[in-house]
Amino acid sequence: MQQNPQSFKTRLDKPSLDGLFVWYAEMRQSPVFYDSERESWMVFRYPDVKRVLSEWQTFSSHILHPPEQTDFTQSLNFTDPPKHRSLRSLAQQVFNPHRVEQLIPRMTAITHELLDRVAEHGQMDFMQNLAIPVPIIIIAEILGIPLEDREDFKRWSDGIVTLDPIALQSMGDYFRDLIKQRRGKPSHDLISDLIAAHEGGEKLTAQELVDFCIVLLVGGNETTTNLLGNAILCFNEYPKVFEQLKNEPSLLPLAIEEVLRYRSSIQAMQRITTVETQLGGQTIPVGQMVTVWLGAANRDETQFEQADTFMVDRNPNPHLAFGNGIHFCLGAPLARLEGKIVLSAVLKRLPNLHIDPTATLELIPSSDVHGVKSLPIFF
Ligand code: HEM
């Protein structure tokens, strides 16, 4: 069994905005190995990552087991077919592109309200003032969360990303209560629609409802926040791209795909093997954790020409930032739309935007997500 070519910890000890991508380039040379610190097989090359994601029969998503976690184990991202198929089909009935498109006026208004608040100052923290609040407000509105509870939401959502059991419990209890209220008195929100949704006569159980609400919050907030912040990092690194987008805003959807590839919000995800299998010349036994590095696959030169260059009009762009196969991100249409609305407002209203040159940009301390804690900008 091939072991750590370079300790995982070493990489985390020296976090820098681009150190990660240098490390990936090295890791793609020794494509699959076992990391004893992380107790997981590590997979970096595009074809291997794509295969793990698409072969759910061999690489299961069922990685959480009660009593380790009580809430969240029935969430669609942690289940395999046939359970996953029925959960996903119910979820798609209510969380679909049509519902997302109806949100365009609200998303636009929220973005402009947040920009109005800072417009006169000529400076802001892009994360705190825009990239963090937009996705939270939107998902809270979709779910029908009362305004006064949204601060708690942000706190729990942050905690849940690190699977903090207290945050999970608090959010689970909150949703159980809200679902009870909506059962008695349905409203025009996603929770009420989920309660009503059936698939072949089957309804979501109370636990599945709670877990679905949690996955929407957890899956949708930090990822979209980082898509927005990472876009600014890309524009700062490639000022000509920012100029080009101001002149040709129709390029924005392609630019967003390139941000997703170049600085993927989710860098790594886990699976567990259901049988012994061969991958990258290694034999992986049954029951082993496998970590796929989306961020490394998205910089793989064998798949992407000039992979370490941000090409604003890269097309096609078959990045894996939203995953691949049956678990492909359910929120991708929402994330793309939020990206388009917020970034087109930025191009119009903050045409002279630049990152404070004196700022030290600090990465979020997690190996699985990529983004900065704060992003002071002048405009
Ligand atoms: C830039 C933003 C986003 C990124 C990069 C992202 C990325 C991903 C990835 C990589 C997966 C696959 C997980 C796996 O295979 O185990 C996924 C699944 C998922 N995402 Fe997203 N996501 C984003 C935004 C959103 C939003 C806005 C929502 C909803 C509000 C959302 C909801 C979900 C759900 C429910 C799943 C599970 C789907 C399934 O297992 O069938 N995501 N996302």
Domains and CATH numbers, the chain: 8-378 (1.10.630.10)
The two tokens of residue 339 are 């990206």
Give the per-residue pLDDT at 168.
83
Neighbours of 325 (CB within 10 A): 14
pTM to 2 decimal places? 0.94
347 C-alpha vs ligand 1 centroid, how far in Å? 26
Residue whose structure tokens are 């072991």: 3
> DSSP letter at 128?
I
State the pLDDT at residue 164: 81
pLDDT at 66: 60
Q: What is the pLDDT of residue 1?
A: 57
- Spell out which residues line ligand 1, taking CB within 6 angstroms: 53, 61, 76-77, 88, 139, 215-216, 219-220, 223-224, 227, 265-266, 269, 321-323, 327, 329-331, 334-335
Structure token pair of residue 111: 């973005």
Name 74's Cβ contacts closer than 8 Å, sequence gap at least 6: 83, 87, 205, 207, 208, 211
Specify the residue for token string 């939107």: 138
Which residue has its alpha carbon closest to ligand 1 atom 18? Answer: 329
> How far, in Å, is the centroid of ligand 1 from the Cα of 253?
18
User: What sign for the dihedral angle of Cα 152, 153, 156, 159?
Assistant: negative
Compute, in angstroms, the gap from residue 220 CA to the centroid of ligand 1.
Answer: 7
Residue with tokens 């690194």: 237
Question: What local confidence, expressed as pLDDT, does residue 75 receive?
Answer: 86
Alpha helices in the chain (DSSP H): 8-13, 19-27, 46-54, 83-94, 97-101, 104-118, 126, 133-143, 150-161, 165-184, 190-196, 206-237, 239-247, 252-262, 294-297, 332-349
Q: What is the pLDDT of residue 219?
A: 85
pLDDT at residue 11, rounded to an integer:
47
Cα of 53 from ligand 1 centre, angstroms = 13
Closest protein CA for atom 16 of ligand 1: 77
- The count of other CB atoms within 10 Å of the CB of residue 331 is 20
Three-state secondary structure string covering 253-270: HHHHHHHHHHCCCECEEE
Which parts of the chain register pLDDT below 50?
A: 7-14
The torsion of the CA quartet 193, 199, 200, 202, rounded to 10 degrees, works out to -80
| Residues 224 and 135 sit within 8 Å (Cβ to Cβ) | yes
Which pLDDT score is estimated for 150?
A: 81
